[in-house]
Amino acid sequence: MVSFGYIFGFMDFESVLKHENWEVILLLLGMMTYVGLMAKTGFFKYLGIKAIKLSKGKPWLIFVYLSLITTFISMIIDNVTTILLIAPLTIEAAEMIEINPIPILLGEAILSNVGGVATMIGDPPNIMIGIASNFTFNDFIIHLFIPVMASLLVSILIARIIYKKWMENKGKNVEKLMKMNERKYIKDEKKMKHFLYILFGMIFFFATESYTGISSSFVALAGGTVALLISMEEPKEAFKSVEWPTLVFFIALFALVGGLQETGLLDGLAKWLSGLSGNVIVMATIILWISGISSSFVDNIPVTAAFIPVVSAMAITYNSNLLWWALAMGVGMGGNATPIGSSASVITLSLSKRYGHEISTKEWVKFGTLVAIASMSVCTAFLFIMA
């Protein structure tokens, strides 16, 4: 894109830097550093084992507890990391009581995607939308938390119907399961407590951004830095948890989308979409479903990056923020329709194959596609309420 920009005169290196959203990069870097250090304390594994023991070996309760834990953690921490830590525990527990772990793995991946929509830091697309639109952490909670909770409830009801037969299987070796000691997974309790205080501090500053004026990217970077100082770990070791390929991916993605913006293509798309309807609710619905369907075939991050300049122009034309919320709900919920719609979905598929319980496309579609359609329908209804 940069080479063609030089050749045809629509973009140079300086304009590439102008299109880079460094706030997104820094926020991701800070959160990745923090999550990597927190994971080493064993906190997430402790939570997982606690939930499994609370279920007392009942498949449906294991499904609900682990899915909801993954969902609510995904509201404040990247869901890919959460899946990487919870999925192996899920398979271990399921094998112990001799039940099929696939429904639980699907529940964790799909419901974590739904939950991630609720907050600004729950999913990379939301981070991108929040910074591009100047929305605060509280704005996301106010506008998206209730639609997400409604979608979550509908998703659980769908699971209850689809996996009715699976639930009838009674777990074996429950006594062995109950003997699992969750505390043995905690590697450093003192650090874990300190990191939890840091997390509460970050959430406080995220929530009070409109009063303090401290940007979310600074809060995340400061949280990661303080966690690094407390851990006394070598930066070289700590930064191994940072997904550097993902950060490079974002940098390249912003350059690509910047090139499309410089050529006028995205402005043209915005004008074409604006011509479809003068009604903001109709337009918001169109954006929700187009972005949702697109996210089911392409990872929702590039879809979001392509839509942000378009929605930014249209939000001014319609003088409404409803289009931003439609985009957030569309890319978040639509990614569940196929196994390649989100990073968490791809990771879940990879882990299921590695541990010998491969999730087929048919199994994914049976639950994921239904949840995607149902949750996007629920969110469409909420657009009319939010207008």
> Tens digit of pLDDT for each residue in 234-283?
888 888 878 788 788 888 888 888 888 888 877 787 778 777 777 899 99
> Looking at the predicted structure, is the pLDDT value of residue 314 above 90?
no
**Element of type H or E holding 26:** helix 22-40
Q: Per residue in 151-188, pLDDT tens?
A: 999 999 999 999 999 988 777 777 777 777 888 888 88
Query: At residue 196, does pLDDT exceed 90?
Result: yes
Compare 231 and 265 and report the one with higher pLDDT. 231
Quick one: CA dihedral 209, 214, 220, 222, positive or negative?
A: negative
Average pLDDT in the 223-242 region?
Answer: 87
Residue with the larger pLDDT of the pair 156 and 24: 156
pLDDT at position 229:
92
Looking at residue 184, its pLDDT comes to 82
Q: How confident is the model at residue 55 (pLDDT cuts 50, 70, 90)?
A: confident
Kindly tell me if the per-residue pLDDT of 134 is higher than 80: yes
DSSP characters for 165-214?
A: HHHTSPPS-HHHHHT--GGGG-S-HHHHHHHHHHHHHHHHHHHTHHHH--
Section 329-337 average pLDDT: 92
Query: Can you tell me the distance from the alpha carbon of 18 to that of 102, in angstroms, rounded to the nearest whole number?
Result: 45
CA distance 223 to 208: 15
> What secondary structure does DSSP assign to 78-107, as a single string?
-HHHHHHHHHHHHHHHHHHTT---HHHHHH
> pLDDT of 91-119, one tens digit each?
888 888 888 899 999 999 999 999 989 99
Mean pLDDT value across residues 133-162: 94
Give domain limits for the chain: 23-36+187-242, 42-186+243-386
Structure tokens at 324: 């931003």
Report the chain's mean pLDDT, rounded to a whole number.
Answer: 88
Categorize the per-residue pLDDT at 375 as very low, low, confident or very high, splitting at 50, 70 and 90.
Answer: very high
